[in-house]
Amino acid sequence: MTEAPKPAAPAAAGSRASMKKELPEHFKAYKHVWVYVEVERGQVHPVSFELLGEGRKLANKLGVDLAAVVIGPPDEGTRTAVAETFCYGADLAYLVEDPLLTHYRNEPYTRALTDVVNTYKPEILLLGATTLGRDLAGSVATTLLTGLTADCTELDVDADASLAATRPTFGGSLLCTIYTLNFRPQMATVRPRVMAMPERVEKPVGRVITHKLDMVEDDIVTKILSFIPDRDAGKANLAYADIVVAGGLGLGGAENFQLVKGLARVLGAEYGCSRPVVQKGWQPYERQIGQTGKTIRPKLYIAAGISGAIQHRVGVEGADLIVAINTDKNAPIFDFAHVGLVTDAVRFLPALTDAFIRRLSPHNRDRLAG
Amino acid sequence: MHIVVCIKQVPDSAQIRVHPVTNTIMRQGVPTIINPYDLYALEEALRLRDQHGGEVTVLTMGPPNAEDTLRKALTFGADRAVLLTDRFFAGSDTLATSFALSSAIAKVAQVYGAPDIVFTGKQTIDGDTAQVGPGIAKRLKLLQLTYVSRIADLDLAGRTISVERRSEGGVQQLRTTLPALITMLEGTNDMRRGTMKDALRAARAEVVIWSAKDAGIEDLTKCGLRGSPTVVKRVFAPGPRAEKAEMIEITPAARDTADSLLDAIFSRQPKLEADIAAAQAAL
Ligand SMILES: Cc1cc2nc3c(=O)[nH]c(=O)nc-3n(C[C@H](O)[C@H](O)[C@H](O)COP(=O)(O)OP(=O)(O)OC[C@H]3O[C@@H](n4cnc5c(N)ncnc54)[C@H](O)[C@@H]3O)c2cc1C
Ligand SMILES: Nc1ncnc2c1ncn2[C@@H]1O[C@H](COP(=O)(O)O)[C@@H](O)[C@H]1O
């Protein structure tokens, strides 16, 4: 990832990009779009399916194959994962199976993925920007000495078939598009929920190319002593909620967050906040929505007292319906909200909560308002 | 024991403004701070030193004025500060940054002793990639421990370290050998205030300043813009959605405004009405 551009950098970088050289001969063999499929404890991380959906579009544009890379232990979970990748659009799958790959560890996973890349040479390699994906992507990109664009919000191929990876840039309402010149594969990570989940279509298992892990346990220095699953694992969470209500600095104080929570409760929704709310200590980090917090894709998103900076916008843009409540009619959030109200959120939220109760369960008013 | 902590000077994001007309970042007068995530790495390093003895070296790659950042780290109690600064580093992406920093760490190892642990923050608030740490680890062949929430045990004699690491859906307990690179998770400790003695020492201390050449870097094509496989081709402001937001009229009674909003929501998303009613019945 390129650092934040200095004021003069866009022009300078642009001129270098326009000098784009012919791709070195040895990289011309690099073809096809790959998605690294994250499997842990037999479960595929949903971000991998989201990426297969996105990878399918890129592969179609390039007229190449979409391949899934599955790395894991020789068991049912790994085999199911391979089968699933075909239902989500993969044309073929590369599989590295070995008992050493039972749990994620940087060393054997880096080795496995790097070896498959070096052997079968993809043009584009996408990974989820999860704790696992980021741990792995940095090691693999450095081993291959290629470029890596982190946390992209948009992927496309341009006229000369190179990957155009777009992400927010530091410090303002700006996005930048990044290219990997003269190196292959072009690597990018994307955070969960940024891309839409493609439809699952029942398909038979297609071509699977297996690759051996060239390692023994003694080669691996890091040992796993234990794994403690999160207590609330599997519980509905912010990223996957159908309705989200969030508050920003415009709420004016920590105590007013009750209004956001109250509305969320009545809607059976999750609640969240903007980053400064976390920085002020009004809410914990788990509630942060945006580029450096959670990305959400609810059916309904209600944002109260949030200005709509790019880092917030990219985290909520996938919502089907965005409702913004803000006192400033020029707030950037009205550029991407579907429905807007220019009013004081602190005064309006109680009326809104009440309106939902009146409309949907008038008999339970006292109980719900509590 | 010797610990190297990589810290970055970043603009204080809370105070950044975007030029309303040109849409470029207005950096003038924006104060700089130590990347907030790096403070957790620094504090953890200082704690290990206080327990086990040894030295903490802070390292940054940046413009000459990044010296302020290093001096701040000295006031917290770091023992030594190294600034890697050279115009050849301008425009570095993560691959070029990890090359420069790993070269400097190799040089630090030669001059001041090989580090047992290298710390980085989880990510920066400007580059925001979380890739420089893994990049350094790979280049220096250090065992990589990312997203560490707790250092459970450090056995200097046995050359092993055990940590708890945040992973998807739980916490991994890992043991590996030294030297290792750790990226520290946020919220895992509180930065100390620093003592008066450290403040006085920091004011007088000399920050070691190295150019690319001083750091032993011979191949300048691996540095800066030239050494960066990625380039920023276009910077742009996102446009408004094609269809403008429907603005709900604000009536004197909030109750009426709220009812109009509900009409707007349910006319656009008819299925939601039943979903919410079901959720309420379940409450
Ligand atoms: C690297 C980086 C990463 C970032 N990541 C994130 C991220 O993940 N998530 C995120 O949210 N931000 C992120 N930010 C911060 C982002 O740039 C904005 O600063 C932030 O989103 C603004 O939060 P806000 O809208 O709550 O506050 P402000 O921008 O201060 O906006 C408050 C809004 O409330 C309105 N208001 C005031 N009073 C009322 C009232 N009574 N009723 C209704 N409206 C009112 C104001 O008109 C204003 O529009 C990041 C920044 C950087 C540099
Ligand atoms: N220029 C730099 N100088 C020193 N450390 C850096 C620099 N850039 C990144 N780092 C370290 O690498 C970590 C991850 O950075 P990033 O990949 O940019 O998110 C940071 O938290 C720092 O510890």
- Domains belonging to chain A, first-starting first, are 2-219 (3.40.50.620), 238-369 (3.40.50.1220)
Q: A311 CA to middle of ligand 2, Å?
A: 20
Q: What is the ipTM, given to two decimal places? A: 0.89
- In this prediction the pTM is 0.89
Which residues in chain A touch residue B280, judged by CB atoms under 8 angstroms apart? 266, 268, 357, 360-361, 364, 368
Q: Which of A134, A270, A297, A354 is the mutation pick for testing B, counting most B CBs within 10 A?
A: A134
Which residues face A69 on adjacent strands?
A: A36, A94
A73: nearest Cα among A82, A64, A85: A82
**CA distances to A133, A185, A270, A322, B270 from B264, in Å:** 40, 47, 21, 11, 10
Complete domains list, chain B, with CATH: 2-227 (3.40.50.620), 244-283 (no CATH)
Nearest of B11, B69, B127, B268 to residue A292 by alpha carbon: B127
The number of C-beta contacts closer than 8 angstroms across A and B is 337
Residue of A nearest to B243 (CA): A338
For chain A, counts of helices (H) and of strands (E): 10, 18
| Burial status of residue B68 (CB atoms within 10 A of its CB: 0-12, 13-18, 19 or more) | middle
Whether residue A365 lies within 8 A of chain B, CB to CB, comes out as no
Number of Cβ within 10 Å of residue A240's Cβ equals 15
- Tokens 């090989």 sit on residue: B114
How confident is the model over B76-87, as pLDDT tens digits? 999 999 999 999
CB of A256 within 6 A of ligand 1: the answer is no
CA B46 – CA B78 distance, rounded (Å): 7
Of all ligands present, the nearest one to the C-alpha of B129 is 2
Contacts of B234 in chain A (CB under 8 A): 10, 14, 176-177
Whole-angstrom distance, CA of residue B22 vs CA of residue B18: 8
Q: pLDDT truncated to tens, each residue of chain A (370 aa)?
A: 444 444 333 333 444 444 555 688 888 889 999 999 999 999 999 999 999 999 999 999 999 999 999 999 999 999 999 999 999 999 999 999 999 999 999 999 999 999 999 999 999 999 999 999 999 999 999 999 999 999 999 999 998 889 999 998 765 567 899 999 889 999 999 999 999 999 999 999 999 999 999 999 999 999 999 999 988 654 558 998 999 999 999 999 999 999 999 999 999 999 999 999 998 999 998 899 998 889 999 999 999 999 998 889 999 999 999 999 999 999 999 999 999 999 999 999 999 999 999 988 766 666 666 5
Among A244, A291, A344, A348, say which to mutate for ligand 1: greatest number of ligand atoms within 8 Å of CB: A291
